[in-house]
Amino acid sequence: MKIKCLVIDDEPLAQRVLERYIQDIPALELVQKCDNALDAMEILKEKKIDLIFLDINMPKLTGLEFLRILKNPPLVIITTAYAEFAIQGYELDVVDYLMKPFGMERFLKAIQKVQDILKPWEHSLSAKTSGETQEDQYIFVKSSKKTYRISLNDILYIEALGDYVKIYTTDRMVISYHSMKNLENLLSPKQFPRIHKSFIVSLSKIELIEGNQVKLRERFIPIGTNFKAEFEKLIRTI
The pTM of the full predicted model, rounded to 2 decimals, is 0.55
Mean pLDDT of the chain: 84
Q: Identify the architecture of domain 123-236 in CATH.
A: Beta Barrel (2.40)
Question: In 3-state terms, what secondary structure has residue 30?
Answer: strand
Task: Look at the domain 3-119 and name its fold.
Answer: Rossmann fold (3.40.50)
Cα 63 from Cα 127, distance rounded (Å): 36
Interval 112-160: pLDDT, tens? 888 877 765 444 444 343 444 555 688 877 776 677 888 899 999 999 8
> How confident is the model over 194-199, as a mean pLDDT?
93
Percentage of residues in the chain having pLDDT higher than 70:
88
Interval 80-93: pLDDT, tens? 887 776 776 667 77
pLDDT at residue 204 tops 50:
yes
Closest by alpha carbon to 38, among 17, 11, 63?
63
Closest by alpha carbon to 116, among 23, 186, 179, 30?
179
- The domain segmentation of the chain, as residue ranges, is 3-119, 123-236
Are 56 and 80 contacting, i.e. CB atoms less than 8 angstroms apart?
Answer: yes
Peptide bond into 101 cis (omega under 30): yes
pLDDT on residue 130 = 44
Phi, psi of 53 (to 5 degrees): -100, 115
